[in-house]
Amino acid sequence: MNVESDAQELVAAVDLGGTFTKLGLIAPDGAVRAETRVPTRLTAFTDGDGGRGTVEWLGEEISAFAAAEAEAIGVRTVGFGVVVPGIVDSASGVVISAANIGWTGGVELGDPLQARLGLPGGIGHDVRTGGLAEWQLGSGRGLTNLLFVPLGTGIAAAVIVDGRLLEADGYAGELGHVQVPSAGDQQCACGQVGCLEIVAGASGVVRNYRRLAGATPGDEPVAAEEIATRARAGQPEALGAFEIAGTALSEAFVIALTLFGPEAIVVGGGLSGAADLLFPIIDQEFDHRLTFQRRPKLLTSSFGSRAGLVGAGLLGWRSVTAEAQ
């Protein structure tokens, strides 16, 4: 990441998560010049005021962060981008729903936040804007057909086909909710059963591991990262948890590449740190499963867990450029 950029103008980027919300100041080249995180004020989303509390909270966080950093590193904030998990219509700036942050009604964020901050800005989907970052500045640079799949608590995909990022009014790319045989009939938070993200997200790997290890609710919690370390050391239950995740991912990837024909799949999010465990499983499954389909390269993301934040910055810069024209 280039932190030596001498740009005097930056945009504020916000990546809204279920527990923490990341804030950053982003240069036009995607460099993250400042970064922090704050607890997500979940009550803001559920107070039935049509989103006014959310806009107020976001406005305050952005203003305070931008003011403090402007003083510290001597820059000016000229726009903003906010990215949200869920069904987001970026054209209208409306979040249609976002179950992970307790949001079910449609909430308009774009225009009210522009008014509150007095800056041009855009609202986007965390994964699609992360895909934009990877495509324009990261691992997917130069490709025309590309999937970006961050493996976090949840899973979704940014889908680029024929050099365009698919939106479908916010409904495109919900790969985590494609049903795969490896997820059996386990219940998903979305209401369906057998969704990919139940077994292949970070929480899924933890759940698989605890089940294989015969863990009981009272046992010490263990993070996906630690399970990866144990798998590398050859522990059978840890290897088993990644075997399930990798197989489930290959099942979903085969579906996605039968429908989208990507040249590469860029895997991101926290679990991409375990690519050394997952990619060989996926590669082996591709050997067995693919017939007429184009075989995609498997790549890890350039921006890791910052992809959404960098993408939010790109979104902000787009708004600034659009306003200047």
Whole-angstrom Cα distance, residue 247 to residue 251? 6
Query: Binding residues for a second copy, per CB under 8 A?
Result: 87, 97, 99, 144-145, 157, 159, 161-162, 164, 166-175, 177-179, 181, 190-192, 251, 254-262, 289, 291-294
Residue 224 phi/psi, 5-degree rounding, is -55, -35
- Return the number of other C-beta atoms located less than 10 Å from residue 324's C-beta: 9
Residue of 83, 91, 92, 160 whose CA lies nearest to 124:
83
Q: 202-212 and 224-232 are packed helices; what angle lies between their axes, rounded to 10 degrees?
A: 60
Considering the complex, what minimum distance in angstroms separates the CB of residue 294 from a second copy? 5
CB nearer a second copy, residue 82 or residue 157: 157
CB nearer a second copy, residue 254 or residue 281: 254
H or E stretch covering 81: strand 76-84
Whole-angstrom Cα distance, residue 6 to residue 8? 6
Considering the complex, what minimum distance in angstroms separates the CB of residue 198 from a second copy? 14
CB nearer a second copy, residue 14 or residue 127: 127
CB nearer a second copy, residue 179 or residue 300: 179
Q: Exposed, middle or buried, 176 (CB in 10 Å: 0-12/13-18/19+)?
A: buried
Considering the complex, what minimum distance in angstroms separates the CB of residue 180 from a second copy? 9
Considering the complex, what minimum distance in angstroms separates the CB of residue 295 from a second copy? 11
CB nearer a second copy, residue 219 or residue 287: 287
- Name the DSSP letter for residue 221: P
Considering the complex, what minimum distance in angstroms separates the CB of residue 116 from a second copy? 29
Largest Cα separation within the chain, whole Å, is: 61
> How far, CA to CA in Å, does 239 sit from each of 213, 232, 244, 291?
11, 8, 9, 28
CB nearer a second copy, residue 70 or residue 290: 290
Considering the complex, what minimum distance in angstroms separates the CB of residue 290 from a second copy? 8
Question: Helices then strands (H, E): number in the chain?
Answer: 10, 13
Whole-angstrom Cα distance, residue 298 to residue 140? 11
CB nearer a second copy, residue 128 or residue 210: 128
Considering the complex, what minimum distance in angstroms separates the CB of residue 27 from a second copy? 29
Considering the complex, what minimum distance in angstroms separates the CB of residue 35 from a second copy? 31
- Report the alpha-carbon angle 253-254-259, nearest 5: 95
For every residue of 16-52, DSSP letters joined together read E-SSEEEEEEE-TTS-EEEEEEEE--THHHHSSSTTH
CB nearer a second copy, residue 51 or residue 176: 176
Considering the complex, what minimum distance in angstroms separates the CB of residue 17 from a second copy? 18
Do the beta carbons of residue 93 and residue 122 sit within 8 Å?
yes
Position 212: which residue type? Answer: L
CB nearer a second copy, residue 184 or residue 236: 184
